[in-house]
């Protein structure tokens, strides 16, 4: 058996408030899953034991952040907390202007409406569900320009989030720079398995796009995790702080959309941050229509404050080492018992490779959705499908998008679960793996129009 990566550090916090967990029986879960149409999004949280559905808004806030809630300035206009957040965004991300939004997709909506004209193309390093939908709703077409290695769960490329600049160049040649709204660069790349983009790649992207006068928009949702990977893996960065790396990453881009519910350790919140004054003026006007006044963007003052304080904490080395280290720990344990996962291990989650886990189930019978359902049945652990269901349908043809990656995401909320929980998780995965040949696929019984993975219902074949 390969040796386990040694974990020579412990969580850099102690627990002050606890929330009881509920364990259920298998017959109970069988019933709950049936009621939920075999979709883990439709389970009630009280029926879940360890919740690895997402790291979005599920983080534990620090005592400092909770104290910040009491400092919420709930004025309709000009809240002090807005100015605090603006100061922190300028300090760590480096953009001049800030437009708060209720969460990441609020920022994506504003930006897409402003920058995309019908018939435009938006190249990016793999699609993300909400990001692509807003691009499409604005009349754009997403074009995947990520490196090929990103679509191969077994490739050990250290920067599988990189943009293939040849793919981007040939798109520019084919459609013309005028029809490219912007390049959408995510750090890290969620759907590829939480994989980072390299600083060198961002620099080269900046040079290429500058030549063609094309903007670059960073999806900074997990950019701190990306910065950590750059420090670990990219030559020349070992002695840089995570904060310095984050700042440099942003400096090669014109704007960012942000879901603060991830890196920034809050339960709700997001923003659009940018350098261009004209676009800022437009976003500041549009936010009033869709989110709320430009100094609160759909959030309470206390939420803005928690996010401002979260930025300071997110870039602390102890924190980010433990956060990514916990995911690494689970990934290494699963590898050591032969479970097929995406490698290298990502920043926010371990991704099970459902194709190799359940090779007898064809993709059209939803192997990743099936595996997520089986894991819940086995153990009460909730995970998320990231395969053909998440990929949705082509809006032109109505056909399923058929992604190469058919994954189940075991997503770790920040500062929530202990190493003992992690061990229980690996044992549950192993138990399903041992009986994998008996598992049968699923059939769709209901499919909503947008972001179907949230609400689609299935039955067992
Ligand atoms: N990500 C996640 O679980 C939330 C639910 S799935 C849609 O991974 C990126 C890279 C994300 C992301 C949300 C958003 C949208 C944008 N970019 O959920 O609207 O991972 O705050 O952010 C989820 P909001």
| Ligand 1 atom nearest to CA at 189 | 10
Annotated active-site residue 237? The verdict is: no
Residues 50 and 76 in one domain: no
Is 332 part of a structural domain of the chain?
A: yes
Look at residues 283, 314, 345 and tell me which one is the last residue of a structural domain: 314
Residues 184 and 95 in one domain: yes
Residues 143 and 204 in one domain: yes
Question: Which parts of 93-240 fold into alpha helices (H)?
Answer: 104-115, 129-137, 165-175, 199-211, 223-233
Is 425 part of a structural domain of the chain?
A: yes
Nearest residue CA, atom 1 of ligand 1?
56
Is 290 part of a structural domain of the chain?
A: yes
Is 7 part of a structural domain of the chain?
A: no
| Ligand 1 atom nearest to CA at 411 | 3
Backbone angles phi, psi at 397, to 5 degrees: -95, -20
Q: 259 lies in which domain range?
A: 63-314
Residues 323 and 302 in one domain: no
Domain count, the chain: 2
In terms of Cα–Cα distance, which of 333, 358, 353, 357 is closest to 342? 353
Annotated active-site residue 262? The verdict is: yes
Residues 254 and 133 in one domain: yes
The reply to whether ligand 1 has any atom less than 6 angstroms from the CB of 129 is yes
The reply to whether ligand 1 has any atom less than 6 angstroms from the CB of 54 is yes
The alpha carbon of 221 and the centre of ligand 1 are apart by a number of angstroms equal to 8
Annotated active-site residue 219? The verdict is: yes
User: CA-based angle 195:85:319, to the nearest 5?
Assistant: 45
Is 11 part of a structural domain of the chain?
A: no
pTM here is 0.96
The alpha carbon of 270 and the centre of ligand 1 are apart by a number of angstroms equal to 10
In a structure prediction context, what are the per-residue pLDDT tens digits for the chain, which is 461 residues long? 455 555 557 899 999 999 999 999 999 999 999 999 999 999 999 999 999 999 999 999 999 999 999 999 999 999 999 999 999 999 999 999 999 999 999 999 999 999 999 999 999 999 999 999 999 999 999 999 999 999 999 999 999 999 999 999 999 999 999 999 999 999 999 999 999 999 999 999 999 999 999 999 999 999 999 999 999 999 999 999 999 999 999 999 999 999 999 999 999 999 999 999 999 999 999 999 999 999 999 999 999 999 999 999 999 999 999 999 999 999 999 999 999 999 999 999 999 999 999 999 999 999 999 999 999 999 999 999 999 999 999 999 999 999 999 999 999 999 999 999 999 999 999 999 999 999 999 999 999 999 999 999 999 99
Residues 145 and 292 in one domain: yes
Look at residues 270, 285, 314 and tell me which one is the last residue of a structural domain: 314
CATH number at residue 97: 3.40.640.10
Report helix, strand or coil for 186.
strand
Residues 37 and 104 in one domain: no
Q: Which of 88, 160, 261, 262 is catalytic?
A: 262
Query: What are the angstrom distances between the C-alpha of 135 and each of 197, 204, 383?
Result: 21, 24, 27
Annotated active-site residue 453? The verdict is: yes
Report helix, strand or coil for 69.
helix
Residues 335 and 412 in one domain: yes
In terms of Cα–Cα distance, which of 60, 13, 65 is closest to 413? 60
| Ligand 1 atom nearest to CA at 270 | 21
Annotated active-site residue 394? The verdict is: no
Is 8 part of a structural domain of the chain?
A: no
CATH number at residue 328: 3.90.1150.10
Residues 6+ apart with CB under 8 A from 395: 136
Is 18 part of a structural domain of the chain?
A: no
Residues 397 and 342 in one domain: yes
| Ligand 1 atom nearest to CA at 384 | 3
In terms of Cα–Cα distance, which of 252, 160, 186, 248 is closest to 214? 252
Residues 95 and 124 in one domain: yes
The alpha carbon of 283 and the centre of ligand 1 are apart by a number of angstroms equal to 20
Residues 289 and 328 in one domain: no
Look at residues 285, 314, 343 and tell me which one is the last residue of a structural domain: 314
**235, 236, 241, 244: CA torsion to nearest 10:** -110
Residues 31 and 90 in one domain: no
Is 399 part of a structural domain of the chain?
A: yes
């Amino acid at each position: 058996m390969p040796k386990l990566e040694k974990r020579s550090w412990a969580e850099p916090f102690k627990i002050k408030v606890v929330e009881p967990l509920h364990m259920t029986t298998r017959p109970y879960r069988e019933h709950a899953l049936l009621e939920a149409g075999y979709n883990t999004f439709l389970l009630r949280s009280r029926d879940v034991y360890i919740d690895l559905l997402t790291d979005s808004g599920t983080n534990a806030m620090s005592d400092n952040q909770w104290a910040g809630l009491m400092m919420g300035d709930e004025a309709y206009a000009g809240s002090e907390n807005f100015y605090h957040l603006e100061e922190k965004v300028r300090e760590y991300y480096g953009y001049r202007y800030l437009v708060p939004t209720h969460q990441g997709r609020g920022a994506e909506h504003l930006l897409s409406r402003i920058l995309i004209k019908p018939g435009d193309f938006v190249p990016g390093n793999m699609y993300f569900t909400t990001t692509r939908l807003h691009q499409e709703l604005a009349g754009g077409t997403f074009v995947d320009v990520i490196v090929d290695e990103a679509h191969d769960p077994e490739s050990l490329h250290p920067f599988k989030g990189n943009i293939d600049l040849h793919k981007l160049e040939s798109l520019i040649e084919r459609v013309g720079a005028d029809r490219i709204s912007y390049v959408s660069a995510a750090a890290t790349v969620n759907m590829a398995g939480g994989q980072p983009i390299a600083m060198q790649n961002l620099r080269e992207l900046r040079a290429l796009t500058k030549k063609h006068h094309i903007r670059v928009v960073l999806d900074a949702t997990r950019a701190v995790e990306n910065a950590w990977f750059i420090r670990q893996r990219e030559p020349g960065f070992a002695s840089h702080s995570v904060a310095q790396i984050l700042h440099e990453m942003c400096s090669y881009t014109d704007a960012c959309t942000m879901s603060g519910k991830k890196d920034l350790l809050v339960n709700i919140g997001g923003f659009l941050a940018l350098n261009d004054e004209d676009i800022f003026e437009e976003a500041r006007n549009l936010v009033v229509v869709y989110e709320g006044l430009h100094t609160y963007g759909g959030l309470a003052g206390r939420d803005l404050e928690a996010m401002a304080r979260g930025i300071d904490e997110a870039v602390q080395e102890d924190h980010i080492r433990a956060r990514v280290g916990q995911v690494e720990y689970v990934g290494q344990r699963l590898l050591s018992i032969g479970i097929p996962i995406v490698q290298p291990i990502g920043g926010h989650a371990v991704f099970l490779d459902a194709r190799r886990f359940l090779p007898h189930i064809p993709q059209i019978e939803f192997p990743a959705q099936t595996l997520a359902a089986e894991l819940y049945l086995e153990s009460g652990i909730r995970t998320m499908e990231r395969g053909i269901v998440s990929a949705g349908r082509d809006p032109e043809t109505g056909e399923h998008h058929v992604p190469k990656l058919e994954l189940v995401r075991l997503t770790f909320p920040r500062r929530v679960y202990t190493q003992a929980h992690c061990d229980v998780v690996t044992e549950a995965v192993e138990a399903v793996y041992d009986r994998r040949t008996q598992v049968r696929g699923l059939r769709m019984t209901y499919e909503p129009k947008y972001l179907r993975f949230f609400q689609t219902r299935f039955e067992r074949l």
